[in-house]
Amino acid sequence: MEENSMVDFKALEKELQAALAADEKYKRENAAKFRAVAQRVPSYEDFRGIVLASHLKPLERKDKMSGKRTAPWNCHATRRKTFQEDVAVEVSEEETPFQPGTSAEFYRDWRRRLRSGPERYQALLRLGGPTLGRLFQTDVGFGLLGELLATLANHMRPADRAAVLGILRGLAGTGRFSLNLSLLSPSELECCRALFEKLQAMGAPGAGAGQEALSGEQRGAEQEQDLLQELRELYQLR
């Protein structure tokens, strides 16, 4: 066989290691989130601190604080990257389409590959509400819901109104949605309100088309307006 037609097992192994690392990170942070809720932490900052420190492990009796250390106590705080981080960076640089099959893959690529707001917005449009609902049927990762809402609010266009409504509907059907919604920061809540205000304004007569086109699309516009009102209640916006 020609060289370019052979399977690159090394690249496949790296991609597998990156996916496993992302999945482990998701599970670890999800467990920390439940612990923080059970502890009834007083503020969002305390909650966030517990989740971000979920990778740390308590010292055992055999651990010594004196003497020469052969390994850093917090590998995530050092500049040197771990093997798993290096693998994730290499895989993210490959020119592959954004087609996550799991929530862990979405979270990994969202963080590492999609750096700009327009890139993230287009990725959400390509996936659509039903796919996002399937990916996050168990739960939306910690902090991710706010980022998704902010991306939609900052980059939505009138022509994408129906697609954005579908995305919001898909997210509203994910597991523990009410809990994730209650954990939005003040700035994320403001983005959510701004997004719904834009959706409302874009649905007004003459917002996206001439009066002659409204008569033929009136029925669809009314359905979108009903969906918007339903989503307002689901997102606890009165």
pLDDT tens, 150-195? 999 999 999 999 999 999 999 999 999 999 999 899 999 999 999 9
CB within 8 A of 149, min separation 6: which ones? 184, 188, 191, 192, 195
User: What is the CA angle 135-170-116, rounded to 5?
Assistant: 70
Domain-wise residue ranges, the chain: 8-51+80-113, 115-238
Residue 85 has pLDDT above 60, yes or no: no
Tokens 């850093």 locate to 72
CB within 8 A of 134, min separation 6: which ones? none
**Contact criterion met (CB below 8 Å) for 113 and 92:** yes
pTM for the model stands at 0.59
The confidence score (pLDDT) of residue 91 equals 44
pLDDT tens digits along 105-149: 898 889 888 889 999 999 999 999 999 999 999 888 778 999 999
Return the top range by mean pLDDT from 16-25, 90-99, 118-127, 137-146. 118-127
The confidence score (pLDDT) of residue 41 equals 67
What 3 state SS string does the chain have? CCHHHCCCHHHHHHHHHHHHHHHHHHHHHHHHHHHHHHHCCCCHHHHHHHHHCCCCCCCCCCCCCCCCCCCCCCHHHCCCCCHHHHHHHHHHCCCCCCCCCCHHHHHHHHHHCCCCHHHHHHHHHHHHHHHHHHHCCCCCCCCHHHHHHHHHHHHCCHHHHHHHHHHHHHHHCCCCHHHHHHCCCHHHHHHHHHHHHHHHHHCCCCCCCCHHHHHHHHHHHHHHHHHHHHHHHHCCCC
Q: Give percent above pLDDT 90 in the chain.
A: 37
- In sign, the C-alpha dihedral spanning 153, 155, 159, 165 is negative
The confidence score (pLDDT) of residue 70 equals 55
How far apart (Å, rounded) are the C-alpha atoms in residues 9 and 62?
40
Nearest to 230 by CA among 154, 148, 172, 179: 172
pLDDT tens digits along 197-238: 999 998 765 445 555 555 556 777 788 899 999 999 999 987
CB within 8 A of 168, min separation 6: which ones? 129, 152, 231, 235
